Amino acid sequence: MNELLKKELIQLCKKEGKSSLIPALQMVQRDLGYLSKESIQFVAETLNMPVSEIYGVATFYNQFRLNPVGKHVIKVCRGTACHVKGSGQLLSLIENELGLKVGETTRDKIFSLEAVACLGACSIAPVIMIDDKFFGHLAAEDIPKVLNQYR
């Protein structure tokens, strides 16, 4: 954690007290990409809360990550519309193509894979998202081509 992030966290926590916990964790994740042990410890000390309580909140909300992610984050939608249109098969293909499971990062740290609820783009189901770009109406044969754009 850099000094600027620490300073911003202290300001936020002083201003909002314990209700700043989630915004503080969001701030850390925006900056670091995940919640490091050091950052959780720092937030706990700043808010005068037990570390276990911070972990409890961080693991309850699936927006938070406790491990560093790869350069590109792939989100496979597992919502109903995408499920009906074969997102399970797409997920398996991506896992096989990259040699990883949901929640993991490739050894070269290029890709992380997540399965998420509706991405809000049901009309183009099945959908995956890589970083902030949507790929819709995907067929199995599209997967290698899509992934190759990021390799």
Contact positions toward ligand FES, by CB under 6 A?
77, 79-82, 118-122, 125, 127
In whole angstroms, how close is the CB of 148 to ligand FES at the nearest point? 23
Least distance in angstroms from the C-beta of 20 to ligand FES:
32
**Closest CB to ligand FES: residue number:** 79
Residue with tokens 């600027």: 4
Would you say the C-alpha torsion 137, 140, 143, 144 has a positive or negative sign? negative
Give the C-alpha separation, 111 to 68, whole Å.
Answer: 11
5 vs 102 by CB, closer to ligand FES? 102
Which candidate, 40, 28, 37, places its Cα nearest to that of 4? 28
In angstroms, give the least distance from the CB of 30 to ligand FES: 24
> Minimum Å distance from CB 70 to ligand FES?
22
Smaller CB separation from ligand FES, 47 or 82: 82
CB of 86 to ligand FES, least distance (A): 11
Burial-class residue 30 by CB neighbours within 10 Å (0-12, 13-18, 19+).
exposed
DSSP-based three-state secondary structure for 51: helix
Residue 90 exposure: Cα atoms within 13 Å on the Cβ side:
29
**Cβ-based nearer residue to ligand FES, 35 or 127:** 127
Give the nearer residue to ligand FES in terms of CB position, either 40 or 138: 138
Q: Which is nearer to ligand FES, 70 or 126 (CB)?
A: 126
Distance CA 34, CA 62 (A): 12
